[in-house]
Amino acid sequence: MLDKAGRKLSSLTFGPQGASLRGRLRVPGDKSISHRSLLLGALASGTSRITGLSAGLDVQATRRAVASFGATVERGANDGEWAVTGGKLAEPDDVIDVGNSGTAIRLMVGWAAAIDALTVLKGDRSIARRPMGRVVEPIRSMGASLDGRGNGSLPPLVVRGGHLHGIDYELPVPSAQVKGAILLAGVSAEGETTVRERHPTRVHTEEMLPLWGGRVRLGEGSVTVVPGPLSPCDFDVPGDPSQAAFWIVAACITPGSDLTVQNIYLGAQRAGFLAVLERMGANVEVAGFDDRRGVGDVRARFGPLVATQVGGAEIPGLIDEIPVLAVAAAFAEGATVFSDAGELRHKESDRVESTVGALRTLGVSAEGKPDGLVVEGNAGASLKGGIIDSEGDHRVAMSMAVASLRSVSPVTIDAWESVATSYPGFEEDFAICTSKRTS
């Protein structure tokens, strides 16, 4: 199978299944937190020791990027252990390639803008169509010179960084990537920088900055960074809730399942998918929650599900989990409506179209809307299997692997290689949970 550019694509076949999910599992380190730990480590003078770093290609791209600016990044003795020595950053010799990572390119627009250097940021074909105006505009207003295709609205982007001044900025689109970029730029700006948001988004940048010695003030719907030098930090990246969501939904829809996913980050704006599953009547419970780190275990058991409405202010806190929640919706009695989620159309694929297309291939009745999708669920449904085009979108590919657990025929997922961007060990974890092998 070849993509439109003639490159060979891999496909993977799951099932038919029949196995329940049982036992305990740990998922990879959180992707959002991993990117930020590298960027903060590179800004700090001295060595930050990071454990639990995501091994996905997206985070590898950020790791290579900070090294291109002169940070020293060394692997530790165990998987996920890295030492980042930063402080003295200089102009990279070459273009920075972020691969498939929207988080890497957007955070780096702000991060690189504070460095007196010329930075060119590019990515793959999916990155080339992702909107950048939302981050370019505020960083320009801090005094950096930025350009890109379409007057800076699309990558590749060119950043001429240097002397920045603080701004007071209200996000027009709820986006933690944009908030993070502005705050990272604000660390080295002259004067304070405030970001205001109408709908709360994930809080990793403001939560992590103080751990690296940054000064942050939280207000009602706002966060202010006070500029100043950063100092190194020893930091353990908790498990990724977006990856845990695949196994939690898998256990909820697969008869006989009783699975615990351990050590997951469940802080603000990342556990919204659990609230949705609870509204659907799912048997999910959090145990051992550590309030200080925002980390806990989630136990999920099979049970009957009912449809729900998902929309409004809860969307930014579960946007990445919508494809797998749509799979849960396929087995929930009634019509589940996802609305106010137009941002889905600007992810690694147009996730409204890719999710609806994949579900329909498997025999689920689903319909795309300008701002979301509707899934007609049937609690007793068995899917018919088929060949799915994941459109190179890791979350769609993994969601359909979850759907295969309720299929009577094999589910083949094309462009499976995208899964390595966030979850290189997905197949192994699938086998561990189900004690079944893929082919």
> What residues are annotated to the active site?
320
- Nearest approach, Cβ of 35 to ligand S3P (angstroms)? 6
Q: HEC states along the chain?
A: CECCCCCECCEEEECCCCCCCEEEEECCECHHHHHHHHHHHHHCEEEEEEECCCCCHHHHHHHHHHHHCCCEEEECCCCCCEEEEECCCCCCCCCEECCCCHHHHHHHHHHHHCCCCEEEEECCCCHHHCCCHHHHHHHHHCCCEEEEHHHHCEEEEEEECCCCECCEEECCCCCHHHHHHHHHHHCCCECCEEEECCCCCCCHHHHHHHHHCCEEEEECCEEEEECCCCCCCEEECCECHHHHHHHHHHHHHCCCCEEEEEEEECCCCCCHHHHHHHHCCCEEEEEEEECCCCEEEEEEECCCEECCEECHHHHHHCHHHHHHHHHHHHCEEEEEEECCCHHHHHCCCCHHHHHHHHHHHCCCEEEEECCEEEEEECCCCCECCEEEECCCCHHHHHHHHHHHHHECCCEEEECHHHHHHCCCCHHHHHHHHHCCCCC
Nearer to ligand S3P, 202 or 406 (CB): 202
| Single residue of 59, 73, 89, 319 touching ligand S3P by CB under 6 A | 319
Question: What's the min distance (Å) between Cβ of 258 and ligand S3P?
Answer: 29
Q: With contacts defined by CB under 6 A, name the span among 111-119, 155-163, 262-270, 314-322 that binds ligand S3P.
A: 314-322
Q: Which range touches ligand S3P (CB under 6 A), out of 188-196, 316-324, 330-338, 354-362?
A: 316-324
Q: Tell the smallest beta-carbon distance from residue 229 to ligand S3P (Å).
A: 24
320 lies in the binding site for ligand S3P (CB under 6 A): yes
Nearest distance, CB of residue 269 and ligand S3P, angstroms: 9
Return the number of the residue (175 or 257) whose C-beta is nearest ligand S3P: 175
Shortest gap between Cβ of 31 and ligand S3P (angstroms)?
7
The minimum distance between CB 207 and ligand S3P, in angstroms, equals 12
243 sits near ligand S3P (criterion: CB under 6 A): no
Q: Is the Cβ of residue 236 or residue 285 nearer to ligand S3P in the bound state? A: 236
Per CB under 6 A, does 58 bind ligand S3P?
Answer: no
418 binds ligand S3P (CB under 6 A): no
Assigned token pair, 390: 């994941």
CA atoms of 405 and 390, how far apart (whole Å) = 17
Task: Between 176 and 374, name the residue whose CB sits nearer to ligand S3P.
Answer: 176
> Sign of torsion, CA 288 215 169 126?
negative
**Neighbour-count burial for 301-336, b at 16+ CB within 10 Å, e otherwise:** bbeebebbebeeebbbbbbbbbbbbbbbbbbbbbbb
Q: Does position 32 bind ligand S3P by CB under 6 A? A: yes
The nearer residue to ligand S3P, 34 or 119, going by C-beta atoms, is 34
Residues in region 157-196 near ligand S3P by CB under 6 A: 175-177, 180
Least distance from ligand S3P to the Cβ atom of residue 436, Å: 29
Q: Tell me the residue nearest to ligand S3P as measured from the CB.
A: 32
Whole-angstrom CA distances from 273 to 131, 194, 224, 277, 317 are 25, 29, 28, 6, 8
- Binding mask 94-133 vs ligand S3P (x if CB under 6 A, - otherwise)? ---------x------------------------------
Binding-site size, ligand S3P (CB under 6 A): 11
Determine the interface stretch with ligand S3P among 51-59, 84-92, 313-321, 364-372 (rule: CB under 6 A). 313-321
Residue closer to ligand S3P by CB (options 216, 432) is 216
Q: For residues 15 and 155, which CB has a smaller minimum distance to ligand S3P in the complex?
A: 155
Choice between 63 and 202, CB closer to ligand S3P: 202
Residue 278 CB, nearest approach to ligand S3P (Å):
22
Identify residues 244-303 at the interface with ligand S3P (CB under 6 A). Answer: none
Residue 150's Cβ-count burial label (10 Å; 0-12, 13-18, 19+) is: exposed
> According to the binding rule CB under 6 A, does residue 223 interact with ligand S3P?
no
**Least Cβ distance, residue 129 to ligand S3P (angstroms):** 14
One-letter amino acid of 399? S
User: Is residue 265 a contact partner of residue 239, using CB atoms and an 8 Å limit?
Assistant: yes
- Cβ closer to ligand S3P: 201 or 243? 201
Residues that bind ligand S3P (CB under 6 A): 32, 103, 175-177, 180, 201-202, 316, 319-320
